[in-house]
Structure 1
Amino acid sequence: MTPTVHLSCFLALLVASLAQGIKGSLRSQDPGPRPLELKEVFALFQTQYNRSYLNPAEHARRLNIFAHNLARAQQQQEEDLGTAKFGVTPFSDLTEEEFGQLYGHPVAAGRAPNMDRKVGSDEWSESVPPTCDWRKKSGVISSVKHQKNCNCCWAMAAAGNIEALWGIKHHQPVEVSVQELVDCTRCGNGCEGGFIWDAFITVLNNSGLASEKDYPYQGKVRTHKCQAKKHKNVAWIQDFIMLPDCEMKIARYLATEGPITVTINMKLLQQYQTGVIKATSNTCDPHLVDHSVLLVGFGKSKSVAGRRAEAVSSKSRHSIPYWILKNSWGASWGEKGYFRLHRGSNTCGITKYPLTARVTHPVKRKQQLVSCPP
């Protein structure tokens, strides 16, 4: 067993009881769990995620934040209606405000510029398959990236969308430059946030994107900014569209055309570990979307006992429909860099901005639909 796995198991054993104790102490102002227990868990967190702090005062502040986050994770665990598990993550020593500044972007106000919700063909007559996972088709989904301290989820989601569609439509795997989108965005400093439509407009303005190999990701805006003219484009787009705010139609488009980008409320992702998140509008406001990701598939979990139903009857069992989403926080977060949201309840605002590029030119005859891997 590797040290990382050992630490993860040990953390899992300690966190639940610690979080419950911390949550109770925060409510009752009791001293809380024994200091040694909390410090022990925090030391394991520091080891696993390579954290160090400048001085004892900063260490104490982060320890306090860590304790509050454990309590929040326990509360989220109790409130979740799906199968999600919340607990220690790489972001457990960050405040909610710090996490939002580093990994989200400003809440989008209004609609994308000059866009109506529409579709590109008559695929709505097709039935929706029970499952779809574009990760299973070779050359479609690139590896999980890590945006680090650059607030460019919007660029990574857009790049992943273009890569996937290029692989599907042209049978040619490609990895495009996220750094070009960050450097060349029409809205200034690309590491300070942006929106999916900013990325697509940048691609149209530059007549395409360079490869990741030629124009590699730096995690910051380059000193001399846009270098697009120095590199050959390896992929381009015809235009981009916004899909209807209907999960059934989004699923049909995803299955027949390929992965799309969505922008969600990331409130529950800071403490997320695994499973299907099913939230209410109170626990994850669907109107306050602030994080862009790539929607790569959907399915249903195996029959499980619902948490609330389980308290009433052990026979109350149901499967949970879910979306599969690719994040940009590295493969050590979530389910190897992915996470799942409940499908059918607009969880965390997934239907607000479903956007996708189009990489093929319109033709008079109806195109043959692409088959999504089940």
Structure 2
Amino acid sequence: MSIASVSTTAVSGETGILPRRLNEFKVLEGHTVTDDFHSPLPHEYISEKDLPPSWDWRNVSGHSFLTHSLNQHIPQYCGSCWAHGALSALADRIKIARNAVGDDINLSIQWVLNCGGGVAGSCWGGSHSGVYEFIKAQGFVPYDTCMPYLACSNDSDEGFCSAVDTSCSKHNVCRTCSTFSSMGGTCTEIDIFPNATVAEHGTYSLLSWNRVHKIKAEIYARGPVAAGINANPLLDYKGGVIKDGGFVDMLIDHIVSIVGWSVDEDGDEYWIVRNSWGQYWGEMGFLRIQTGRNLLGIESSVAWATPGQFTVSDNFPCGEGGGGCGGDESNTNGPHVTQFYKDPSSDVEAVKRSLRDGLRVVL
């Protein structure tokens, strides 16, 4: 039987001597606000019986609403799963809000590593909810074309990190370089740049009553969520649905994102989970795990955020070298264009119609 056909039992590879794993889930002292929202939560207007038997943001009527998958461990090891899980879920929600129109918007994980050390985390660990608090407090997160992922933070000397400046300076928020320095080129900070904001954020915990309904309604109405998990049993995961009763209520040490759910041939419901270990791992970077039992701790710490606004202009007004942005009089393209997020709770009837018709409608 091929790995691709296995759905009832998870498959592991051969186990050898493994290095000691870092607990990458850490709540820092500066992270004090886990819930900051006023909009109704999706489970308040979507009943459990009205949710579809399966939902997968990778394939909605033949279209994927997910941004691209990443590997947190290159160019060198960095325990930044918390940033990958949180920002991929937020970026996916932006793509959903745009109805998958236009280029993907990917958010800068490296900027969070550069600047979010006191609240969100570093290469030595952090928290998904801390990312959302940090972005809301800062008022923005740049797109990753401003500051691509280096897998470094100022407390890491892994690989080339000791030779890289990861301080929270304007230079390390958004910059570009004009050409080789031997040809007179320079690297310049960019003051006006594409970015997104967080409007609201919150959490669902193991203590949440009917937590599976709440998580599913959240995913269906607004998009993927970030979730804690115990990663030790996943090191050799090759595919299939994880159902092992020995994995119930494990302590979390890793952050992933949940992008949907479905039912296997035995009638068991499972979460569809995206990891940040690359597409060579698992099921093209994904795993499946049975719902309702808190296996590997997957339902014990779920965080979500809704975007506030995000830059969508097809022609952002900066020159290749970083000049001519926004207020420069020589710029003829006008100011950058932003799109505002519309929460599904603003039109509950539209959500209910989509459930009845079996056709998910983006507001």
Cα offset for 1:248? 1.9
- Pairwise CA distance, 1:252: 1.9
> What are the residue-to-residue correspondences of 1:170-209 with 2, within 5 Å?
170-171=98-99, 172=101, 173-187=104-118, 190-209=122-141
Amino acid at match of 2:9: T
Matched residue, 1:274: 239
CA distance in 2, matches of 1:108, 1:88: 33
Q: Does 1:335 align with 2:266?
A: no
Structure 2 residue aligned with 1:143: 68
State the match for 1:132 in structure 2. 55
The counterpart of 2:95, out of the listed 158, 167, 175, is 167
Identity of aligned residues (%): 24
Deviations 1:180-205, CA, capped at 9 Å, x for gaps? 11111142861110001221122123
Task: Report what 1:228 is aligned to.
Answer: 173
1:132·1:372 contact (CA, 8 Å) conserved in 2? no
Q: Does residue 87 in structure 1 map to residue 13 in structure 2? A: yes
Residue 34 of structure 2 contacts residue 129 of structure 2 at CA under 8 Å; is this kept in 1?
A: no
Cα shift at 1:113: 3.5
Kept in 2, the 8 Å contact 1:185–1:202? The answer is yes
Q: Which residue matches 1:299?
A: 262
Q: Is the 8 A contact 1:116 1:242 kept in 2?
A: yes
Q: 1:199 is aligned with what amino acid?
A: V
Secondary structure of residue in 2 paired with 1:344 = coil
Q: Which residue does the alignment assign to 1:120?
A: 41
**Distance across 2 between alignment mates of 1:107 and 1:276:** 27
SS at match of 1:354: strand
For the residue of structure 1 that corresponds to 2:90, the secondary structure is helix
Query: Equivalent residue for 1:31?
Result: none
SS of 1:242's partner is strand
Q: State the match for 1:249 in structure 2.
A: 214
Instruction: Please state which structure has a larger fraction of its residues in helix.
Output: 1
How far does residue 287 in structure 1 lie from its aligned partner after superposition?
A: 4.6
Tell me the CA shift for residue 253 of structure 1.
Answer: 1.8
Structure 1: 5+ residue runs without aligned partners?
1-8, 13-80, 303-317
Q: 1:339 to 1:372 in 2, by over 3 A?
A: farther
CA distance in 1, matches of 2:196, 2:285: 25
Go from structure 1 to structure 2 and tell me whether the alpha carbon gap of 1:325 and 1:198 turns closer, same or farther (over 3 Å shift).
same
Relative to structure 1, is the Cα distance of residues 259 and 362 closer, same or farther in structure 2, using a 3 angstrom cutoff? closer
User: How far has the Cα of 1:93 moved from its partner?
Assistant: 4.8
Q: CA deviation at 1:87?
A: 1.1
CA 1:117/1:201 → structure 2, altered by over 3 Å: closer, same or farther?
Answer: closer
2:347 matches 1:366: yes
Cα 1:85/1:117, change in 2 over 3 Å: farther
Secondary structure of residue in 2 paired with 1:296: strand
Aligned to 1:46: none
Cα deviation, residue 105, structure 1: 1.2
CA distance in 2, matches of 1:109, 1:342: 30
Cα RMSD for the two superposed structures = 3.0
After TM superposition, give the deviation of residue 145 of structure 1 in Å: 0.6
TM-superposed CA distance for 1:109, in Å, is 9.9
Kindly provide the amino acid, as one letter, of the partner of residue 350 in structure 1: I
Deviation at 1:274? 0.4
Q: 1:364 to 1:345 in 2, by over 3 A?
A: closer
Does residue 156 (structure 1) correspond to residue 84 (structure 2)? The answer is yes
Q: Deviations over 1:1-51 (max 9, x none)?
A: xxxxxxxx9xx9xxxxxxxxxxxxxxxxxxxxxxxxxxxxxxxxxxxxxxx
Aligned length: 270
Relative contact order, higher structure (CA 8 A, sep 6+)? 2
Larger proportion of strand: 2
Q: 1:372 to 1:271 in 2, by over 3 A?
A: farther
Structure 2 portions without partners, runs of 5+: 154-163, 175-188, 308-340
Q: Pick one of 209, 212, 218 that aligns with 2:150.
A: 218
Q: 1:323 aligns with which of 250, 253, 271?
A: 271
Distance 1:224 1:355, change over 3 A: closer
